[in-house]
Structure 1
Amino acid sequence: MTQFNISKRLKRVASFLPKRAYFADIGSDHAYLPCFVCQKDKTAKAIAGEVNEGPFQSAKDTVRHFELGDRVDVRLGNGLEVLEAKEAKQIVIAGMGGTLITTILNEGKAKLEYTEQIIAQPNVDARSVREWLINNGYGIADEDLIEENDHFYEIISATRSSNDTSIHDKLDTKQLLFGPILLQKKPEAFYRKWRFEANKLERIIKQMKLAKDSNNRKKISLFEKEKDWMEEVTNETTDHDE
């Protein structure tokens, strides 16, 4: 059976999984990620979780088509409810907003006791995902930021913290916003994303100032600080590696 192609975003998410992974892909849609990983790695196993009947059936069709029914188990259910305790060593939640990802993790905390790695790809608000991870016993092990079809995607790989605290277990406000690893790596897309966000924030600040609402002062001050950070990190081009 020929290897099928998936998006650049999902390929990058897949690259963070270890060899012989036994992972759950929550909100798996067509089960493309589990099938891609299990085709490439014959020792991998996956659970594809989907909350809606339509995508659940699509996922089953994909698994059947690629003859992976012995290694990809498609389950219908909400969030981590599809898992048994101690079942998946890795959890992937990709293609949702940060708030929804943290809600799924919060509601399924009982299922995470033996989860070694969480890979999250929030479409927006990666900051809240980082905050949840470090507050719940996970250290940021790696990150990436890619651009695909005019969208920017941050990918966060977090591993369960050991007793000897990782340097990324405690993050400051700036690290939560940009990502501790991304601040070091600064891939090409990092510069494009944060220049775009700085311009967007500048427009928002101007509109808020025109509104002359005294309640906005604190928010304007915070936004101005963040815009300064965005300009600062995108102007540091001297140390930038391709």
Structure 2
Amino acid sequence: MGPRRGRQGKGRAWGYPTDLHPKPRGPRRPRWAGLEGRGRGPSMPSQPGPRLLSLADRVPAGRPMADIGTDHGLLPVWLLVRGRVPSAIGVDLRAAPLRAAARTAAAWGLAGDPRLSLRQGDGLAPLEVGEVDTVVIAGMGGRRIAALLEAAPRRRSALRRLVLQPNTEARALRAALQDLGWHLVDEDLCVEGGREFLTLVAEPGVGAPLTDAELLLGPVLLQRQAPAFRSWLVREHARLQAAAAAARAGTGRVPQPLAAALEIVAATLGVDAPSS
């Protein structure tokens, strides 16, 4: 699905909870943004943008996949067109996105292609157990993604990889994956349309318990220290400092979750965190 903006404000998606995540900037862009022609929807296929490629590049080659919340269906269509997967399933809760996905398939020459299946339903429910190896879920909050995975234990247990792109609550999703017996093997932070997008890749197996810093910022991102991650950290540090200053001005104190997040980010950057 395309990224959905959460409610803003204290204690909500983009305020100062314990869940840090790249803050969205600018209007929502559909998943096929950057591929459309001058008309409505995809018409002249071209190279997809960084957000879609971040997902597509982490889908294992040669394995069937499913895209949960497929929206316009560009991801499964792109993977089939590129020959990366033998079959793909696009799932969405509503009929309208699936009609749009069918138009996307037709625009890319996949109308009626038996390798592509578009199904209506909630989460992983439309999938048969063992039908796919990889599931992609993007454009939802981290807690929503976790809830979909928790609701389908048999289907989840047959998977070999999860490729997830939460638009909020990344910390909650990392914690949920750990509780479900999955460990993170890759993380990516990309920029498209002035917004940062975070991709998490998990596989079955219990890894070392994540520290508070790893839950908040990501174990792989912390290890790699890529330039995009460092740039985001600088902006996030400034945002948290502003939120802390506003809290002090309003109540005379900084809420503990905000203070803890600011301390972790400051320590990662190697700067001093202000006192609470």
Q: Same fold (TM over 0.5)?
A: yes
Shift of 1:224: 2.0
- Give the letter for the 1:72 counterpart: L
Q: Name the % identity.
A: 27
Partner of 1:80: 124
2:58 is the alignment partner of 1:7? no
Write the mapping of 1:1-242 to structure 2, written as runs, cut at 5 A: 4-41=46-83, 43-68=85-110, 69-161=113-205, 165-166=206-207, 169-212=208-251, 220-235=255-270
Q: Distance in 2 between the 1:160 and 1:203 partners?
A: 39
Shift of 1:228: 2.4
- Give the letter for the 2:230 counterpart: Y
Q: Distance in 2 between the 1:42 and 1:12 partners?
A: 14
| Partner SS for 2:125 | helix
Q: Would the alpha carbon gap of residues 43 and 97 (structure 1) be closer, same or farther in structure 2, given more than 3 Å must change? A: closer
| Partner SS for 1:35 | helix
User: How many residues are paired up?
Assistant: 226
Partner of 1:239: none
Q: Distance in 2 between the 1:9 and 1:56 partners?
A: 21
- Give the letter for the 1:34 counterpart: P
Please give the root-mean-square deviation of Cα atoms over the aligned residues, in Å.
2.0
User: Which structure: greater helix fraction?
Assistant: 1
Q: Distance in 2 between the 1:200 and 1:98 partners?
A: 21
Q: Distance in 2 between the 1:228 and 1:131 partners?
A: 20
Maintained 8 Å contact 2:45/2:108: no
| Partner SS for 1:128 | helix
Runs ≥4 in structure 1, deviation > 4 angstroms? none
Q: Distance in 2 between the 1:74 and 1:137 partners?
A: 29
| Partner SS for 2:124 | helix
Q: Distance in 1 between the 2:84 and 2:263 partners?
A: 48
Q: What do the CA deviations read for 1:134-189 (whole angstroms, capped 9, x no partner)?
A: 1111111111111221211111110111xxx53xx411111011110100112222
Which structure is richer in relative contact order (CA contacts within 8 A, separation 6 or more)?
2
Shift of 1:133: 0.9
Gaps of 5+ in 2: 1-43, 272-276
Q: Distance in 1 between the 2:270 and 2:231 partners?
A: 11
Shift of 1:64: 2.8
- Give the letter for the 1:220 counterpart: P
Shift of 1:126: 1.1
Q: TM-score, normalised by structure 2?
A: 0.76
Q: Distance in 2 between the 1:128 and 1:95 partners?
A: 15
Maintained 8 Å contact 2:76/2:90: yes
Q: Distance in 1 between the 2:94 and 2:49 partners?
A: 22
Shift of 1:37: 0.9
Q: Distance in 1 between the 2:85 and 2:172 partners?
A: 33
Q: TM-score, normalised by structure 1?
A: 0.86
